[in-house]
Amino acid sequence: MPKAWFIALGVALVLASIGAYCIYHVVMTGIGAWGNNNSVGWAWDITNFVWWIGIGHAGTLISAILYLMRQQWRTSINRAAEAMTIFAVMCAGIFPIIHTGRPWLAWWMIPHPNDMQMWPQFRSPLMWDVFAISTYATTSILFWYMGLVPDLATFRDRSKTKLKQAIYGVLALGWRGSARQWHRYERAYLILAALSTPLVLSVHSVVSFDFATSLNPGWHTTIFPPYFVAGAIFSGFAMVMTLMIPARYLFGLKHIIKAEHIEAMCKVTLATGMMVGFAYSVEFFIAWYSGSEYEQFTFINRSTGPFWWSWLSMVTCNVIVPQFFWFKKCRTNPWIIIVLCLLINVGMWFERFVIIATSLSRQFLPSSWSYYWPTKYDVGVFIGTMGLFLTLFLLFIRFLPAVAISEVKNTLPEAHAGKDH
């Protein structure tokens, strides 16, 4: 086991502990501990929430849509990407739950018969989020776990200690690899892939509804759903590469996660990045074309107002940075890829920040205009979710099959004797 893994886990746990302390403080004190104010009522917390949900999207795209399109290169990365989806959704969920102010009552959002005369407000897009994201989490976990079953059986069979055999044996659900089991497995996998495909579109579309159903200039625009989906996949792929490139070196996976797979991911990142840039330009154009002075003000304010620096970071990282992926050299050099992907993740965080904080700080009523500045607890909780994500990812990569063994075997040339595909 590489020493680097222990060091990384140590760092991740420290970050997670910082987050745990900050969450404790925020819950005990109230969300006034954050920098949110009356004008900017959604700020870092919702920015982080949307960012984390977006990070998870690469996993679903890779596991579902690329599967339906028979893109066999996906098999080297799908397992890890699916795991990232689940961990990212867990991190995302923390923010709105704390934001409710009384997280111990968050279960009230689930519609259930009760004698409190309590019922969720189904007309609120925030409730749609609850259903969209819980469906997403459930389906992703099912898909991920089902894919794991044959590989867990391999772990069970290769384990040397009784304890490991028992644990992996229970997790493998009695998998024997019979033809009948494989037949059912393949059918179930296809059905789950088909069910997950609309989820790739729906989850971030519903997240975009949180904004787009409002009357707020800069929020209320019809291109938001596909634009959010493209942005989510963009940031998700950047995150997958950020983590998988070091992982393939540390765990000796270079012959499985090949350079051309990384290159393909760079191309997907470039394509989705261009879609995001395209959506920015359409928004700008329509703000001008519409003649609505509020829309026009919002877009001018974003680029030249008090939060100009966040707008500039967003455009630089999301529109300019991915352009480097046009060059093969940038798609094949791991250091360049990691730097570009980190910048893209920063850019996508700023995109949500621009949408949320900038728009809220300059609404219709100038008397309520304000500025937003995060407190150390905003930063702490965010760092904590980073730590949680990394901890879970490191544990996953250590104790579970990080590459879909059975699927990779299927794509090897030996599996197709006499066939050219």
Partner 1 sequence: MSAAHEASLHPDEKYKAGKMGQKVVTGGLVGFVVLTALSWLLSGSAAGHTADGTGHSRFFYGYLIGWTFILSIALGALLYVLIHHLVKAKWSTSTRRVAEILAGTFPIIAIGGLVIIIPLLAGRDDIYWWANKGFDHAEHVSASKHTWLSPAFFAVRYVIYFAAWIGLARYFTVRSRKQDETGDLALSKQMQFFSAPAVIIFALTICYAAFDFLMTLAPQWWSTIYGVNYFGGAMIAGYASIALLSMILQRTGRLQRSITTEHYHDLGKMVFAFTFFWAYTAFSQFMLIWYANVAEETVFYNYRMFGEGWKWVSIVLTFGQWLIPFVLLMSRWSKRILPLFAVFCVWQLCFHWLDLYWNVMPNYHWGAEAHGAAHLVTGPLTGPVGENNVNFSPVDITTWFALIALFIAGIGRGLKGNLIPVKDPNLGASVAHENY
Q: With binding defined as CB under 8 A, does residue 288 bind partner 1?
A: yes
Taking CB under 8 A as the criterion, the residue among 17, 29, 292, 333 binding partner 1 is: 292
Interacting span for partner 1 (CB under 8 A) from 174-182, 244-252, 272-280, 361-369:
272-280
Using CB under 8 A as the binding rule, whether residue 72 contacts partner 1 is answered as no
Tokens of 86: 């689940």
Among 209, 237, 393, 396, binds partner 1 (CB under 8 A): 209
- Residue 256 to residue 404: CA distance in whole angstroms: 10
Beta-carbon contacts of 221 under 8 Å, excluding residues fewer than 6 positions away, are 212, 283, 286
What DSSP line would sit under 15-77, residue for residue? HHHHHHHHHHHHHHH-GGGSS--SS--S-HHHHHHHHHHHHTHHHHIIIIIHHHTT-GGGGGT
Total number of residues shown for the chain: 421
Handedness of CA 100, 102, 105, 108 (dihedral sign): negative
| Out of 149, 154, 195, 220, the residue judged to bind partner 1 by CB under 8 A | 220
Q: Are 57 and 229 in contact (CB under 8 A)?
A: yes
Q: Which of 225, 246, 306, 334 binds partner 1 (CB under 8 A)?
A: 225
Using CB under 8 A, count the residues that bind partner 1.
30
Choosing from 106, 193, 223, 339, the residue that interacts with partner 1 (CB under 8 A) is: 223
367 class by beta-carbon count within 10 Å (0-12 exposed, 13-18 middle, 19+ buried): exposed
Given 17, 138, 290, 333, the residue binding partner 1 (CB under 8 A): 290
Q: Please enumerate in sequence order all residues whose Cβ is within 8 A of that of 101, keeping only pairs 6 or more positions apart, or say none.
A: 30, 31
Stretch 178-207: interaction string toward partner 1, x if CB under 8 A:
--------------------x--x---x--
Give residue 187's identity as a one-letter amino acid code: R
Q: Which of 5, 131, 182, 278 binds partner 1 (CB under 8 A)?
A: 278
Which of the ranges 140-148, 210-218, 339-347, 395-403 carries the binding residues for partner 1, by CB under 8 A?
A: 210-218
Question: Which of 274, 339, 342, 383 is close enough to bind partner 1 by CB under 8 A?
Answer: 274
In which region does residue 173 sit, left (phi positive, over 0), alpha (psi from -120 to 50) or beta (all else)?
left
Which one among 3, 222, 366, 417 touches partner 1, defined by CB under 8 A?
Answer: 222
Part in contact with partner 1 (CB under 8 A); list of ranges 2-10, 274-282, 342-350, 396-404 = 274-282
Q: What does the binding site for partner 1 look like in residue numbers (CB under 8 A)?
A: 70, 198, 201, 205, 209, 212-215, 220-226, 274, 278-279, 282-283, 286, 288-292, 326, 420-421
